[in-house]
Amino acid sequence: MVRAQLNDPSPEDLADFLDEHLREGRCLVQVASECEVLYSGRAASVAEAGDYLVIVKRDGSVQVHSHRSVKPVNWQPQTDDLFVGVEDGLAVLRAERHSPNEMVRIAFLAPALAQALWLREADGFVLMGSEAEMQRALARHPEIIEDGLEVLDAELPTDVGGIDLFARDARGRLVVVELKRGKATQEAVHQLSRYVHSVRRLGDDVVRGILAAPAITAPALNRLGALGLEFREVTALPELEPDGPAQPPLFAGV
Partner DNA sequence: ACATGAATATTGGAT
Partner DNA sequence: ATCCAATTTTCATGT
Q: Enumerate residues 113-132 that contact DNA by CB under 7 A.
A: 127, 129-132
> 211 by DSSP, 3-state: which?
strand
**71: Cβ contacts below 8 Å, ≥ 6 apart:** none
Near DNA in 185-224, by CB under 7 A: 185-187, 217-220
Near DNA in 6-25, by CB under 7 A: none
Contact 236, 214 (CB under 8 A): yes
The one segment of 86-94, 154-162, 169-177, 224-232 that binds DNA by CB under 7 A: 154-162
Sheet with 150-158: list strands edge to edge.
Answer: 150-158, 161-168, 174-179, 207-213, 230-233
The one segment of 38-46, 149-157, 167-175, 200-208 that binds a second copy by CB under 8 A: 38-46
> 21 by DSSP, 3-state: which?
helix
The verdict on 91 binding a second copy (CB under 8 A) reads: no
The verdict on 186 binding a second copy (CB under 8 A) reads: yes
Cα torsion 185, 190, 193, 197 to 10°: value is -170
Binding at 250: pick from a second copy, DNA, none (beta carbon under 5-8 Å per type):
a second copy
Distance, CA of 75 to chain centre: 14
Contact 189, 223 (CB under 8 A): yes
Q: What angle do CA 29, 11, 44 make, to 5 degrees?
A: 65
Phi, psi of 22 (to 5 degrees): -85, -40
Binding at 220: pick from DNA, a second copy, none (beta carbon under 5-8 Å per type):
DNA
Angstrom distance (rounded) from CA 149 to CA 60: 49
**203: Cβ contacts below 8 Å, ≥ 6 apart:** none
Output the smallest distance, CB 55 to DNA, in A: 12
Binding at 50: pick from DNA, a second copy, none (beta carbon under 5-8 Å per type):
a second copy
The verdict on 30 binding DNA (CB under 7 A) reads: no
The one segment of 163-171, 172-180, 201-209, 245-253 that binds a second copy by CB under 8 A: 245-253
Binders of DNA: how many residues, by CB under 7 A?
Answer: 36
Residue closer to a second copy, measured from CB, 115 or 210: 115
Note the residues at the interface with DNA (CB under 7 A): 39, 41-43, 45, 61, 69-71, 74-78, 99, 102, 104, 127, 129-132, 157, 161-162, 164, 181-183, 185-187, 217-220
